[in-house]
Amino acid sequence: MPSIASQLIHWHKDYGRHHLPWQGNRDPYAIWLSEIMLQQTQVNTVIPYYVRFMQAFPTISSMAQAPLDSVLALWSGLGYYSRARNLHQAARLIMQDYQGQFPESRMLIEQLPGIGRSTAAAIAVFAYSKREAILDGNVKRIFTRHFGIEGYPGESKIQNLLWEKAEELLPTDYGKGQIETYTQALMDLGATVCKRHMPLCGICPLQRHCVAFQKNRVNQLPTAKQRKPLPQKETVFLLLMYQQELLLGKRPPSGIWGELWCPPETEIGTDIASYCQRYLGIKIQSPIQLPILNHQFTHYKLRIHPQLIPVISSTLTEKNKFIWIKPYDALKKAIPTPVRKLLKQNFLLDDHAFTI
Ligand code: SF4
């Protein structure tokens, strides 16, 4: 029987994806950027971001020289902003420690911020043809189903078993391009056939020996994590408007939305007028309550209570941390998704219609 690697390589020729913008490129920087963007994000969402990033920062040195704010602004809307901060920091480290040359070995790549073992392996494979195993979410799903592995794949015992499988299955015939095609085939099979919901087992090249398929357990594998209900937090966003401009403040580097621009925040029940006067040096008219916006993070849910607040006068005290900006221009800054939604939902982004 042909090995799994050779079946996948064969399958990929006719059914794999061949035209993604980062494919056919040996530039480790481009591969790295695409791999980081693709974490937790669909290909179709990533493509326009990837194209814009490569235009703005075509090399490691251009990314390293750019201010973090510009990198975050381009990343805005893609979520998981620590990915962008780590990219920027890693680009600076590569300039400093490797004279701008992306390291070749998987072990060295893995030392860079924000790059785990699987991503490091993918870069080593696609840029340098190294014989390394990947194990991203898609691959874990294929292996748990194909080998009928029970247990949550995030548990270290299961994870170790999956890494062993990943190493064992690497193609032994180490011909030209074999490792790249095999790695891409695994990624493509997970994304297009062995999908999380409604996998297309009928056209899967691995169906004959797939344990989950034979035992009718495809929908039970991989084993889901035991989830507790997510805690919920509340916050009040102060959308302060003065002379048709909105007040945004830069958040501290650590914590959620680090270094992104957001409206000032306060707790529910705060006296907003005294808060604005005392902490911002701003005198306001009565706030107008806007519809609540719900946002979900990995570890909790956030209920945002936005208040639209016309400002009477401002002697803003911490000027360097804040900016007054037209809502339309704010969309071009590094702002988190819920702020983007609030701007789009609550402001007519047309100078004629904007009246506060
Ligand atoms: S047969 Fe179905 S479950 Fe098994 S690997 Fe293929 S797509 Fe996944």
| Residue 216 in domain | no
DSSP letter at 247 equals E
Residue 40: what pLDDT?
86
| Residue 208 in domain | no
Residue 60: both structure tokens together = 């490691």
CATH at residue 34: 1.10.340.30
- Name the phi and psi angles at 161, rounded to 5: -60, -40
CA distance 135 to 163: 7
Residue 351: what pLDDT?
44
Residue 355: what pLDDT?
38
| Residue 97 in domain | yes
Residue 30: what pLDDT?
97
Q: Which atom of ligand 1 is nearest to the CA of 211?
A: 4
Number of residues in the chain: 356
The rounded Å distance from CA 125 to ligand 1 centre is 24
Amino acid at 179: I
CB atoms within 10 A of CB 261: 23
Residue 306: what pLDDT?
96
Residue 235: what pLDDT?
96
CATH at residue 274: 3.90.79.10
Q: Which atom of ligand 1 is nearest to the CA of 141?
A: 8
126 & 239 share domain:
no
Residue finishing a domain among 90, 112, 131: 131
| Residue 312 in domain | yes
Where the chain has pLDDT below 70, the residues are 174-175, 317-320, 348-356
For the stretch 270-301, pLDDT in tens is 999 999 999 899 999 999 999 999 999 888 99
CA distance 93 to 142: 35
Residue 155: both structure tokens together = 């548990």
Q: Which of 35, 132, 180, 245 is catalytic?
A: 35
Residue 174: what pLDDT?
59
Residue finishing a domain among 131, 153, 169: 131
* Residues 166/182, Cβ–Cβ less than 8 Å: no
Confirm whether 35 is a catalytic residue: yes
| Residue 153 in domain | no
- Strand 301-314 to 232-242 pairing: parallel
Residue finishing a domain among 131, 147, 179: 131
| Residue 219 in domain | no
Minimum CA distance residue for ligand 1 atom 2: 201
CA distance 35 to 46: 10
- The total of structural domains in the chain comes to 2
The rounded Å distance from CA 80 to ligand 1 centre is 30
| Residue 157 in domain | no
Tell me the residue range of the domain where 268 lies.
Answer: 232-346
Minimum CA distance residue for ligand 1 atom 8: 194
Q: How far apart are the first and last CA of the chain?
A: 72
